[in-house]
């Protein structure tokens, strides 16, 4: 297992480097002169060519791109993502301040997906073709039909405006996270439930389940000790991708609910062409996604011996 962890972690390094190159290239290739933007930020009203040349030298912009990349990467690795063009605030500090909100939102959404998606899928499979399965099928169809922003508006109208039991926006408590995470999770709960159901039914059809039943094992034991561990592997992989999806796509929900997360920060930066912020966002979300993928692979390897042992004969 340790060998697998080292192998898998090592394979993540080139991906992380690739993300960093893309993020750096974003700043390099976009229109605008960083030296001029820096002087603007310093409050220089009249910028002369000498000042620009001096600033370029100071910022190292005259150096070849690989040297600039190396220096930038070194700074980033020490938490220095540069300064925002819009509000002149440290990008690293602002990302650090906002990241917990997005992570809390992600955590709550994933929790909802795991609890309702997986349990719903198991229930549907255990009652395949019966009333409960049909009810769950209709529910998942509905959930899949509503886009997350529409679901967000619907939830606000019902739970915040009419029932007045949950806040409409803002952050600070678990109550503030319920509606956004439910809106963000709804489509994924439906997708997870469907995948879990079909995966369980596939396992039910396999010989080892028949044999387990023939051994006289109780039905719930066959379900949880045999079918479930086999069926959950593709679902874990899908939930891992879903976490990446939230990190990259939570900005709509963060905006609807006025949550000060990194998604809304990135959206504002896109409007303002604030490239250091966009670079920081790409790096943080990319790195988090790689870390989550690594974690998902390790979880899958923990469950699935074939993955852990690489299919080798002993």
Partner 1 sequence: MPEAILEMKNVTKSFGKRRSVRVLDHADFALEQNRITALMGVSGSGKSTLARLLLMLDTCDEGEILYRGRPVNMAKRRESLAFHRRVQYISQRPESFFDPMYRLRSSVMEAARIHRLEPAKASDRLSQLLEQVKINEAVLDRYPYQVSGGEIQRVALCRALLPEPDVLILDECTSMLDVSVQAQILNLLRDLQKEWNLTYLFIAHDIEVVRWFTDRAVLLSEGKIREMNLHNADGSLFGCG
List of residues contacting partner 1 (CB under 8 A): 206-208, 210-217, 226, 229-230, 303-306, 309, 311, 313-314
CB of 301 vs partner 1, minimal distance in Å = 12
CB of 258 vs partner 1, minimal distance in Å = 46
| Pick 227 or 259: Cβ nearer partner 1 | 227
CB of 232 vs partner 1, minimal distance in Å = 10
| Pick 23 or 227: Cβ nearer partner 1 | 227
Torsion angle of alpha carbons 206, 209, 215, 220, nearest 10°? -170
| Pick 162 or 207: Cβ nearer partner 1 | 207
Per the listing, tokens 């070849």 go with: 64
Q: Which of 307, 242, 215 is nearest to 5 (CA)?
A: 307
What one-character-per-residue DSSP string does 164-228 give? --S-SS--SSHHHHHHHHHHHHHHHHHHHHHHHHHHHHHHHTSHHHHHHHHHT--HHHIIIIIIH
| Pick 74 or 208: Cβ nearer partner 1 | 208
Q: Residues 6 or more apart from 300 whose CB is under 8 A from it?
A: 233, 236, 237, 307
| Pick 150 or 208: Cβ nearer partner 1 | 208
CB of 309 vs partner 1, minimal distance in Å = 7
Q: Around 175, how many Cα atoms within 13 Å sit in the side-chain half-sphere?
A: 8
| Pick 204 or 251: Cβ nearer partner 1 | 204
Torsion angle of alpha carbons 206, 208, 211, 217, nearest 10°? -110
CB of 302 vs partner 1, minimal distance in Å = 11
| Pick 164 or 215: Cβ nearer partner 1 | 215
Q: Which of 296, 284, 294, 299 is nearest to 102 (CA)?
A: 284
What one-character-per-residue DSSP string does 113-143 give? IIIIIIHHHHHHHHTTTSHHHHHHHHHHHHH
DSSP state of 274: -
According to DSSP, the residues that pair with 83 across neighbouring strands are 90
DSSP state of 83: B
CB of 225 vs partner 1, minimal distance in Å = 8
CB of 314 vs partner 1, minimal distance in Å = 5
Structure tokens, 283: 């790096």
């Amino acid at each position: 297992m340790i060998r697998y962890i080292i192998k898998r972690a090592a394979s993540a390094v080139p991906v992380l480097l690739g993300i960093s190159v893309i993020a750096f290239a974003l700043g390099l290739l976009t229109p605008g002169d960083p030296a001029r933007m820096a002087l603007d930020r310093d409050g220089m009203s009249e910028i002369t060519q000498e000042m620009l040349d001096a600033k370029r030298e100071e910022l190292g912009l005259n150096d070849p791109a690989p040297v600039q990349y190396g220096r930038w990467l070194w700074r980033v690795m020490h938490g220095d993502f540069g300064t925002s063009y819009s509000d002149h605030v440290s990008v690293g500090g602002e990302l650090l301040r906002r990241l917990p909100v997005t992570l809390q939102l992600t955590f709550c959404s994933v929790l909802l997906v795991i609890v309702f998606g997986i349990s719903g899928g198991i229930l549907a499979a255990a009652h395949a073709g019966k009333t409960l399965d049909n009810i769950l099928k209709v529910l998942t169809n509905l959930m899949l039909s509503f886009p997350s922003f529409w679901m967000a508006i619907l939830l606000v109208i019902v739970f915040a405006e009419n029932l007045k039991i949950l806040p409409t926006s803002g952050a600070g408590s678990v109550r503030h996270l319920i509606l956004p995470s439910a809106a963000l999770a709804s489509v994924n709960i439906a997708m997870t439930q469907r995948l879990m159901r079909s995966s369980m039914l596939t396992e039910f059809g396999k010989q080892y389940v028949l044999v387990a039943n023939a051994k006289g094992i109780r039905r719930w034991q066959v379900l949880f000790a045999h079918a479930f561990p086999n069926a959950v592997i593709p679902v874990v992989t899908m939930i891992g991708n879903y976490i990446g999806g939230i990190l990259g796509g939570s900005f709509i929900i963060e905006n609807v609910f006025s949550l000060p997360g990194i998604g809304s920060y990135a959206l504002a930066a896109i409007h303002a062409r604030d490239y250091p912020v966009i670079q920081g966002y790409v790096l943080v979300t990319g790195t988090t996604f790689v870390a989550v993928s690594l974690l998902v692979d390790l979880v899958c390897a923990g469950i699935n011996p074939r993955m852990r042992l690489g299919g080798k004969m002993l």
